Amino acid sequence: MLRIWKQQKPRRQERHSAAWGKRVGLVVLLATGMALASTSPSARQNGRFSNIGSELAGYMAKAKQGSANGKTVRVIVQYKHIPTAVHYSTMKGRGARLHTTLHMISGAAFTIPVNALPALEADPEIKSVTIDHPIAVMDDLTNSATGVSSAWNAGFTGAGIGVAVIDSGINDSHPDLWDSTHTSSRVLYHQDFTGTATTNSNGAKYDLYGHGTHVAGIIAGNGYLSGGHYSGVAPEASLIDLRALDANGAGTDSTVIAAIQQAITLKNAYNIRIINLSLGRGIPASYTQDPLCQAVEAAWNNGIVVVVAAGNLGRLSVYGSSGFGTITAPGNDPFVITVGATKSNGSATPQAETKASYSSKGPTTYDHVLKPDLMAPGSAIVSLAAPGATLEASYPNDVVAGTDGKADYFTLSGTSMATPAVAGAAALMLEEQNTLTPDQVKARLMKTAYKMGMFSTSAYVPHLFMSFVDFYDLFSVGSGLLNVQAATANTDLAPAGVGSALSPYAVYNQQTGVVSLIYGNGTVSSTSVVWGSSVVWGTSVVWGSNLVSGNSVVWGSSMPWNNNLLSAFSVVWGSSTGTASASSVVWGASVGNATSAYSDAGDDEQ
């Protein structure tokens, strides 16, 4: 029987619900993101294409009906050119309140009266108006399972590489984040984009939620207070703290975009080569129309590797979808490295790692991009604590003492914890070979990943009284498990051009019943994409010969998921008529009442 965990008394396993807000709200967010394509009116308005996003259709209707009654909505307005003082003055005259300038995407974030929407639609200077979506965190035996020690033995520790952590902040006073002399912090810069307090009455500073410090420790903690036991992947890397999430782990599109924009600005000053985004939200439209995705692409185009959490919705089943189609934004963007989570099952070997049932699966909503790209350990990960922060105060039983006997470490689970492991690996690679482009880093990580050759695994979650089955297909585990040893030893180079390592997208042929991969997009030729059969290496090398066969075929009819009798298959790919069925989730058709049983706490799986 499916259960809504929200209805039960909160327990420790529910600790990460704060990352997404209330669980019922999460279901609504996901269902709304998937339903927009079928419920929105035509984009063509008044003889031209409307610049108002389809998700604002309800607001627009109220504005035109005169029933908005003084209501406001927070939006991101993108102009055809970088806005000037004249544009801001015009918006002020329409009753708008400016929050953040976002010149990287020729836009800005405003709170506007709903009644102003028709004026924005008629403004020829405005390219698009979209909701400034709320965003939250994605809540980790990492080093042993991924072979990090071999990179350390070769002398690579991430020294000199800057990693921008866009999260809830970083407690820079933690000794594990000091430099090798233990006299100064390796957190070189702080900036807050939330407009909220950065210190609380419990003594927490910079990170009032506790998530960002934990993420930072997985990337770059040196294990000082644990005798090296809880070291991060790149223990000498530098950290740039760009706080986009508040004391409750919540933020918006604009706070994250502003932080990405600042990371690009600070790139040369702090040698920022990597951005870590252990956060996400639902997908309301194609990545090509999403300002958050445009922002991560801008960072990628500026030579910064962007690593993003896949999401923790792998247990969410809408109309029997079995968790497929639950990747969150901006992890749906084909440029970035999207990371899913595995669990250790009590062993430090990569062979023992299995997919965490909460880890989100592809393909992505609307665009059907093959995600996640990579997996990394994400369940029951011990990393740095931020004493006095929300998470530590709420779940004191998850605190782990350091060698000083104090509450120095904390245990969390989720794709948020898998993501910084990959970010740390990228730092080691860039220290070893600083000329690598983001695409070359992504391609090498994916090619060298440990191929998870299991057929399927089952996990029982006690507090949900349910078992979850995962098949090890491309939409569930991507190219496999992070292998730092192989990645730092590899010398293969993908083409240097931006977009050469785009994640491909999947198509389903109704006549033949074959699911295939298509490479490249409108700006990148398929012949230049590294996964293509005629370029550096073929698909079977990247994803494993047992997962990819024939001429770019994802898997053959012998794979159980590739069976149109299964509800998951019909939900993701639509009906046999050649059009999306009424319950097709990934194709963006209407979603009614979503019944789910899920949790993002993976360490309680049996």
pLDDT tens digit string along 411-466?
A: 999 999 999 999 999 999 999 999 999 999 999 999 999 988 767 787 777 777 78
Q: What is the pLDDT of residue 152?
A: 84
pLDDT for res 533: 53
The answer to the question of residue 408 being in a domain is yes
475, containing H or E segment: helix 474-477
Q: Which domain holds residue 153?
A: 1-53+134-606
d(CA 428, CA 232): 11
Question: Active-site residue among 139, 140, 167, 367?
Answer: 167
Residue type present at position 309: A
* 487-530 residue pLDDT tens: 999 999 988 888 889 998 888 777 766 677 788 777 777 777 88
CA–CA distance from 575 to each of 194, 207, 367 (Å)?
Answer: 44, 48, 18
87 is catalytic: no
Token code pair at residue 425: 């690996």
Neighbouring-strand partners of residue 134: 252
Cα 52 from chain centre: 26
Among residues 16, 87, 133, 211, the one annotated as catalytic is: 211
Total Cβ atoms within 10 A of residue 157 = 24
Whole-angstrom distance, CA of residue 362 vs CA of residue 373: 10
pLDDT digits (tens, 9 = 90+) for 570-587: 666 654 333 333 334 444
Which residue would you say has higher pLDDT here, 233 or 516? 233
| Average pLDDT score over the chain | 80
The percentage of residues in the chain with a pLDDT greater than 90, rounded to a whole number, is 52
Q: Is 552 inside a domain boundary? A: yes
Q: Give the C-alpha separation, 285 to 266, whole Å.
A: 30
For the segment 40-78, what is each residue's pLDDT rounded down to a tens digit?
A: 333 444 445 688 988 898 899 999 988 888 889 999 999
How far apart are alpha carbons 531 and 520 in whole angstroms?
9
Q: What is the predicted pLDDT for the residue at 88?
A: 97
In a domain, 449, yes or no: yes
Nearest residue to 117 via CA among 106, 129, 125, 107: 129
The runs of H, that is alpha helices, within 180-290 are 211-220, 253-265, 267-270
Total domains in the chain come to: 1
* 159 occurs within a structural domain: yes
Phi/psi for 44 (5° steps) reads -90, 120
Sign of the Cα torsion 128, 249, 418, 183 reads: positive
In 98-130, which positions are buried (b, 16+ CB within 10 angstroms) versus exposed (e)? ebbebebbbbbbbebbbbbbebbbebeebebbb
Domain-located, residue 62: no
In whole angstroms, what is the distance from residue 66 CA to residue 404 CA?
64
* Residue 103 belongs to some domain of the structure: no
What is the residue whose two structure tokens read 């702090």? 270
In a domain, 284, yes or no: yes
Q: What is the pLDDT of residue 354?
A: 86
Q: Of 195 and 3, which is predicted with more confidence?
A: 195
**3-state secondary structure at position 290:** coil
Q: How far is 408 from 426, CA to CA, in rounded Å?
A: 26
Catalytic residue, from 17, 357, 416, 583: name it.
416
The pLDDT of residue 232 is above 70: yes
Report, as an integer, the average pLDDT of 202-217: 92
Has 211 been annotated as catalytic?
yes
**Quick check: 418 and 477 in contact, CB under 8 A?**
no
Cα separation values, 511 from 417, 514, 575, 576, Å: 41, 8, 12, 9
**Secondary structure (DSSP) of 518-560:** E---SSS-GGG-TTSTTSSS-HHHHH-TTT-BTTTBS--TTST
Position 45 scores a pLDDT of 45
Residue (of 173, 170, 236) closest to 208 by Cα position:
170
Based on DSSP, count helices (H) and strands (E) in the chain, helices before strands.
18, 24
Count of all residues that appear for the chain in the document: 606
Residues 6+ apart with CB under 8 A from 479: 373, 374, 445, 446, 447, 449, 451, 542, 543, 544
What CATH code is carried by the domain that includes residue 453?
3.40.50.200
Whether 565 maps to a domain, the answer reads yes
